[in-house]
Amino acid sequence: MTRPASWCSPAREYRDSIPERRGTCGPIVAHLPPLMCLPRAVVGWDGGDGGTMAKKNTAAKQLAEVTARANARFTINLQRAFVDLCGKLNQAYGQPARDAAEMRSRHVFALMAIARFLKRVGPHGDLAHFADQFAKFAQALQDLHDGIRAPIFTPALANRSDQTAVWLARAHVALAVETMRQLGQSRGRAAKWAAKKHPDLKQLITESGADLDRSKSLEKAMISWCEDFTSRKVKNRYAARTYAEGLGKLRAWAVSRNSDQMEDEQTGCSRKLLS
């Protein structure tokens, strides 16, 4: 029985319509169109490089979309966490503290805010470890407020030297006086000007005793600080470095400046004296 034409593939019908060349064992397939030379299963196949590449492109697109959404969520969460941190830091340091005890409590509050921020933006990575360190430091500071001193607050070698913050403030005062000297004034006159303009700098005087002139006069104290910094007698390395670097920059800067610019610098130093 002859099969219906619908049963024959297009390739077979094409081959059957071509006469065989004498001396060959089959039809002349060299002149067939490329698709007609392939089996039916190959012609309709959707695998190979084309199918794999299509699947890879789809997977890559889906991964890119997921990554973009995750990055967007992270950015939003980071912005919210940062805004919250800024608010808490402003709450801690927005106003001057009334005393040392209140300042210590504010430090504890700020440290805990930083710990929460780090834990919020990186709960499963290294940031969580850093958050724990800030939290531990805050707890140790709180213990100190309650009369319990942690080893971290025990000095390696006790001494009666003033705090670094005090010496850094003195370094800025000395630099302000040196700025005035660059304008042609004497150190004594510059110190007198600064003492009159900023009497609150007396809080930087910690010496006491009847024979200490600088404990009674802010002007003399300023001159003494300038002399100590200039002669490198200041033992606090942070303040000494701050003064040396500032003085070097001031001298290099003053070479190419006129008097008006120097007076502007004097005004700037005046604003920084109590900062």
How confident is the prediction for the chain on average, in pLDDT? 76
For the chain, percent of residues with pLDDT exceeding 70: 66
What is the CA 229 to chain-centroid distance, rounded? 33
**The total number of structural domains that make up the chain:** 2
- The string of pLDDT tens digits covering residues 36-91 is 444 444 444 455 555 666 677 788 888 888 888 888 888 888 899 999 999 999 99
Q: What is the pLDDT of residues 97-138, one digit of tens each?
A: 899 889 999 999 999 999 999 988 876 667 888 999 999 999
Domain boundary among 124, 150, 176: 150
Domain that holds residue 117: 57-150
Among candidate residues 94, 120, 150, the one where a domain is terminated:
150
Asked if residue 26 is part of any domain, the answer here is no
- Both 138 and 201 in one domain: the answer is no
Asked if the structure places residue 8 within a domain, the reply is no
Asked whether residue 123 is assigned to any structural domain, the reply reads: yes
If asked whether residues 200 and 101 sit together in one domain, one would say no
More confident residue, 41 or 162: 162
Q: Is 89 a member of any domain?
A: yes
Same domain assignment for residues 120 and 168: no
Q: Do residue 181 and residue 262 come from a single domain?
A: yes
Is 31 part of a structural domain of the chain? Answer: no
Write the pLDDT tens digit of every residue in 235-255.
Answer: 999 999 999 999 888 888 777
pLDDT of 239 reads 93
Check residue 163 and give its pLDDT: 86
Residue 32 lies in a domain: no
Taking only the tens place, the pLDDT of each residue in 132-157 is 999 999 999 999 888 888 888 877 66
Q: Note whether 133 and 183 are same-domain residues.
A: no
pLDDT, residue 31, reads 44
Residue 46 lies in a domain: no
Please indicate, yes or no, if residue 84 is contained in any of the structural domains. yes
Q: Could you write out the DSSP letters of every residue in the chain?
A: -PPPGGGS-HHHHHHHTSPBPTTSSSB--TTS-GGGGS-HHHHT---HHHHHHHHHHHHHHHHHHHHHHHHHHHHHHHHHHHHHHHHHHHHHHSS--SSHHHHHHHHHHHHHHHHHHHHHH-TTSHHHHHHHHHHHHHHHHHHHHTT---GGGS-SS---PPPHHHHHHHHHHHHHHHHHHHTT--HHHHHHHHHHH-GGGGGG-----TT-GGGT-HHHHHHHHHHHHHTT----HHHHHHHHHHHHHHHHHHTT--HHHHHHHHHHHHHHTT-
- Give the least confident one: 15-19, 78-82, 143-147, 211-215: 15-19
